[in-house]
Amino acid sequence: MWDHVGNAIIVLGIVFVGFGVFGIYRFNDFYARILIASKVDTVGFMTIMLGVVVRQGFSYFTWKVLLVLVVMLVTNPLATHSIARSAHYSGYRVRKGG
């Protein structure tokens, strides 16, 4: 039973990432794309990893996956922020009407 629930959560995460990739191509400017990429990466990865945790049950492996999940949850938004901030400080501007 838990295998099916875990697989459903994993598939939900993969679907979310797939729609997110489509959303990246839908937006035109750099800042909107980097925002969507960060959200998709963080939430999609969290959903997939939680599906793996549900599927595996509680064990030593689960604690390692949860630790990786916490590290990813902290570092991914920080990395995205630093990329967007460096683009802003380097003078990157969004074209109007394009």
| Exposure letters 10-33 (e unless 16+ CB within 10 A, then b) | beebeebbeebeebeeeeeebeee
Q: Is 79 helix (H, G, I), strand (E, B) or coil?
A: helix
Asked if pLDDT for residue 70 goes beyond 70, the answer is yes
Asked if pLDDT for residue 73 goes beyond 80, the answer is yes
Q: How far apart are CA 81 and CA 75, in angstroms?
A: 10
The reported pLDDT for the residue numbered 97 is 60
Residue 57: count of CB within 10 angstroms of its CB: 11
Cut 0.75: pTM above it: yes
Whether the CB-CB separation of 36 and 78 falls below 8 Å is answered with no
